[in-house]
Every structure is written in C-alpha cells, then in structure tokens.
Amino acid sequence: ETGVTQTPRHLVMGMTNKKSLKCEQHLGHNAMYWYKQSAKKPLELMFVYSLEERVENNSVPSRFSPECPNSSHLFLHLHTLQPEDSALYLCASSQDRQATYEQYFGPGTRLTVT
C-alpha cells in the first residue's frame, strides 16, 4: 500500500445531502492534495495544502470545501452537489509541495451524485 488511506471507498449521495470524504497519510509528508478523476479526462487538481495551509485552490466551486486539521489528515466536505460532480476523488501526499516530489495517492472515493 501507498501509506495514504481514504474513506469511504464508495459514496452515493443526493443533491441535497451533506457528506465528507476523509484522507489520512502515514508518511510524514508536509503536503496533501485533492484531485478529481473523471472518465477519459486528465486528473484535475482541486486543492493543495502545505503544512496545513491551503496554498492552491483551482477555481473549485464552493460546494466543495476542504479542511486540513493537521498534516496527516485532509477532508473534503460536500454539499449541494450536481450530477456532474460524480467522479473518483483522489487524495495524495508528498514530502513537500514542490511538484517535482513524488506524489503518493490513496485508492480514491468513488462518488455518485443522484
């Protein structure tokens, strides 16, 4: 395993629900990331945290709200989602926020919005 865990692995939610995705890394890394993976599209970087501070927000709609309480945990809070938000959400971590460090990915949460 990569040392990055994500829960839940699968999530089905209605458009009016509120849910949260959880990510935990056991690697002692300083940077954590949320990506969205849709079929036949490149991975889309959503948020980057470095030492618990958000350093990048790639024009993500406000219905996605990240939280990083410490350097080992990352959450993605979801509310009022749209069907097009259905995708695989991947969490990753790296030693540092520099893009030239290897990123370690979790297995992802498969989200379906009904």
- Cα–Cα distance between 84 and 64 in angstroms, integer? 13
Binding-residue total with another protein (CB under 8 A): 26
Helices (H), the chain: none
Tell me whether strands 10-13 and 109-113 are parallel, antiparallel or unpaired. parallel
Shortest Cβ distance from residue 43 to another protein (Å)? 4
- Please tell me whether residue 59 binds another protein under the rule CB under 8 A: no
- Please tell me whether residue 102 binds another protein under the rule CB under 8 A: yes
Which amino acid, 114? T
Among 50, 64, 87, 111, binds another protein (CB under 8 A): 50
Shortest Cβ distance from residue 38 to another protein (Å)? 10
Question: If we measure between CA atoms, which residue out of 3, 20, 19 comes closest to residue 67?
Answer: 20
Q: Which is nearer to another protein, 66 or 106 (CB)?
A: 106
